[in-house]
Structure 1
Amino acid sequence: MFDILTEEQRDFAKSIDDFCAREVGSVEKRAELASEGGTHSPEVYAKMADLGWLGLTIPEQYGGSDAGAVELCVLLEHSLKGLAPIGGIGPTLITAAAYQKFGSEEQRKRALELTVGGGTLSISMSEPGAGSDVAALRCKAEYDDDDNTWVINGQKTWCSNAHFADRILLVARTDSSGKKHEGITMFDVPADIEGLQITGIDTMGGKEVNDLYFTDVRLPADAVVGEVGGGWQQLMTGLNTERLILAAMQLGVAQRAFDDCLAFIKEREQFGRPVGSFQVIRHRMADLATEIEATRLLVYAVAKKIDDSDPNALFPREASMVKLKATELSKRVTLECMQSMGGYGYATEYGMERLVRQAVVSPIYGGTNEVQRDIIGKTYGL
């Protein structure tokens, strides 16, 4: 509605819409492509890789297009709006950005070329006792001087897509002598390494997250990503990317829910007229449409600010605001659209329930929205 994209960016958006209509097109086809309760289709993902879309923001030297955050938001919004079953894309792009910033040249080359080619990455931070308080993590990495390896022991949890990831970026404790934000280090871990057990967690959203059990997993000395003990600072610098990615994806979910509901209420009749003609529904849709447009402006404004700034600049207020706003929006839109569709919104045939399940978890992951509000408040000196 608002002219926030260039002509080239609008053409890119249309190409994604056309791709999704051709390759997915329906709720039934999406379920078929991402079978057995999964959220990811290697087939669709590989086709996106062939088009060069997965390397959109990756430097040209690693096979990418070196595009900006605005183009990334276009890709994510329109892919999710188009029902593309690419559950691996968010964690992969978030993790790839960390390798790009902090990895050695060998690590960057491996991870970024893997991403461009359709491989998947995952980042493992949370633990049973360390969720919102990530710095409370206890998974231990100890250096063995005898054979120059790091030995990993402990449990991680809620690790998105580890069950089909090629590599996992592990956040572990290497020193417990100082403050809890100190002594945290990132490690590059092959997903099939000996001693790592990956166990899926059943969720209402399908096969998305996992428990990871590390038992005497040995990593070479050069598996450290960035600086030993520098993991917390490295995590903080990735917030712009992570929270913007989550926001753009949930904007796409919200738009899809709105579009599907709008089509339904124009056709569905009760009391002799379309459901959408009743004032209570008409006003509800008007409010949702307004909120979607306002959120879209925020998402792309933050993306443009990131593109126009120093690559190392941090935007804690803006990153938290955009994640908070977009995820609260998607939850509200999907639930209200389900209500507007009545029993049909609850039926798997129409797909709204799938969108609800995608949306209701979004205020939790990537830092709960309670944490986002706290961060925003602190930026105002509160």
Structure 2
Amino acid sequence: MDFELSREHEDFRHVVRSFARERIAPHVAQWDKDHHFPVDVVRAMGDLGLFGLTAPEEYGGSGADFTSLCLAIEELGRVDQSMGITLEAGVGLGINPIQTFGTAEQKERWLPDLVAGRALAGFGLTEPGAGSDAGATATKAVLDGDEWVVDGAKQFITNSGSEITSLVTVTARTGTRDGRPEISAIVVPVGTPGFVAEPGYDKLGWHISDTHPLTFTGARVPADHLLGERGRGYAQFLATLDDGRVAISALALGLIEACLEECLKYAGERQTFGGPIGRKQGVAFQIADLKVMADASRALTYQAAAMKDAGITGQRFKQAASVAKLYTSEAAVTATRVATQVFGGYGFMEEYPVARFYRDAKILEIGEGTSEVQRMLIARSLGLPVE
């Protein structure tokens, strides 16, 4: 397969790259220091059409392909991972579940503002006792007349407590089926009594991203806020994650490319022993490795995105998504370690972006399915009876 991007894709990449360098890059160090979530920039991303890339035109989207979304995430991620994940989660976890599983009325009610970037949505899956083991969900939703009553807690939820967050889709037990918990997805709008976005986390990285724990205490929503078929919430979540893993791979790719770019520049400027450090094999070989990581990650990411655009589903796509996510996220962690080493003592200083890159990288191996989960899924796809 040929993964050469079209002229339209390259032109679009240039637009997003220019936006990221003009609107984000000059401020990102201060935002990171202040843990500031720049709502005005998020709205500007909406004005640029980034949140509506893959949404239908009838809801204000552009109906573009999945590759375009990955390119946008990659380019934002080259400048700042937090802004990249804001877009990735806003589309993949906020918009896509409603777009894919929602009724016509639900789409008309919620998609226009989300697609335009006037509002954000989160997806509440992870709980204190249910991370990778999503089937252990303890949050419950009981149908009381024509309302769902939601009780429970979620954690690590992106885009869930900003001033423009409008709703969160949560997975909850709605009963049992064949002796197993019945997991359904329910939309809970912001402002629902009993729904509280707790204070944001003090995180290792992604300081600019909006992330909160959520609590639900007798939170009542209309029965028509059930998203998709009752009891299919877990399956819907798994389908959502397949796309999300490719998008996280694109985010990681952007980080690797940023490390390569910064190291090339620094290796040509930094002088030791009478010349630039780029002359030294110890440095040059590390930067060469960054190039290999970037090219391999790009190939895996674009391949998986092309499969999505070609309508390839099922096990082939699931495997490609897991392979891309596993390799690229782990390569990004390695790349930031290498970049910090190339910068030496300066790499340990917040004055230089590689320090932020180093902090931001680790979560890529955890979010949207840990590396261990990806290895398990890949092994199963190969026919191994792994538990």
Question: Do both share a fold (TM > 0.5)?
Answer: yes
- Structure 1 CA distance for aligned equivalents of residues 269 and 121 of structure 2: 43
- Matching residue's letter, 2:103: S
One-letter identity of the residue aligned with 1:229: G
User: Within the alignment, does 1:72 sit opposite 2:69 as a pair?
Assistant: yes
| Residue equivalent to 2:100 | 101
**Contact 1:4/1:300 (<8 A) preserved:** no
In the alignment, what sits opposite 1:248?
250
The Cα shift of 1:209 comes to 2.6
State how far apart, in whole Å, the 1-side matches of 2:330 and 2:74 are.
Answer: 16
Residue number in structure 1 paired with 2:295: 293
Tell me by how many angstroms 1:301 deviates.
0.9
Q: Secondary structure at the match of 1:152?
A: strand
Aligned to 2:233: 231
The one-letter code matched in structure 1 to 2:279 is S
Cα contact 2:3–2:306 (8 A) shared by 1: no
Partner residue in 2 for 1:149: 147
Which residue in the other structure is 2:57 paired with? 60
What is the one-letter code of the residue matched to 2:356? Answer: R
What are structure 2's unaligned runs of at least 5 residues?
none
* Aligned match for 1:44, one of 41, 44, 55: 41
- Give the residue type in structure 2 aligned to 1:191: V
Q: Is the 8 A contact 2:336 2:357 kept in 1?
A: yes
Please tell me whether the aligned partners of residues 256 and 290 of structure 2 are also in contact (alpha carbons under 8 angstroms).
Answer: no
User: What CA distance in whole angstroms lies between the structure 2 residues aligned with 1:3 and 1:135?
Assistant: 37
Using the alignment, how far apart are the partners of 1:158 and 1:85 within structure 2?
14
Query: Is the CA contact (8 Å cut-off) linking 1:41 and 1:85 kept in structure 2?
Result: no
* TM-score normalized with structure 2 length: 0.92
Structure 1 residues 19 and 137, CA gap change in structure 2 (3 angstroms)? same
Shift of 1:297: 1.0
Name 1:21's counterpart in structure 2. 21
User: What SS class does the counterpart of residue 142 from structure 1 fall into?
Assistant: strand
Displacement of 1:178 in angstroms is 4.0
Can you give the 5+ residue segments of structure 1 that lack an aligned partner in the other structure?
Answer: none
Query: Which residue of structure 1 lines up, in the alignment, with residue 132 of structure 2?
Result: 132
- Structure 1 stretch 164-173 or stretch 309-318: which is displaced more? 309-318
Size of the aligned set, in residue pairs, is: 375
Q: Distance in 2 between matches of 1:305 and 1:33?
A: 36
Matched, 1:92 2:94: no
Alpha carbons 1:89, 1:120 under 8 Å: kept: no
Q: Which residue of 1 aligns with 2:173?
A: 173
Equivalent AA in structure 2 for residue 121 of structure 1: A
- 1:208 deviation in Å? 4.1
* CA apart distance, 1:12: 0.9
Partners in 1 of 2:283 and 2:312 — Cα distance?
A: 45
1-side partners of 2:305 and 2:176: how far apart? 37
Q: Against the structure 1 CA distance between its residues 330 and 287, is the aligned structure 2 distance closer, same or farther, given a 3 Å change threshold? A: same
Output the amino acid matched with 2:286: R
Q: TM-score, normalised by structure 1?
A: 0.93
- Percent identity between the two aligned chains: 32
CA positional deviation for 1:315: 2.0
| Residue of structure 1 equivalent to 2:279 | 277
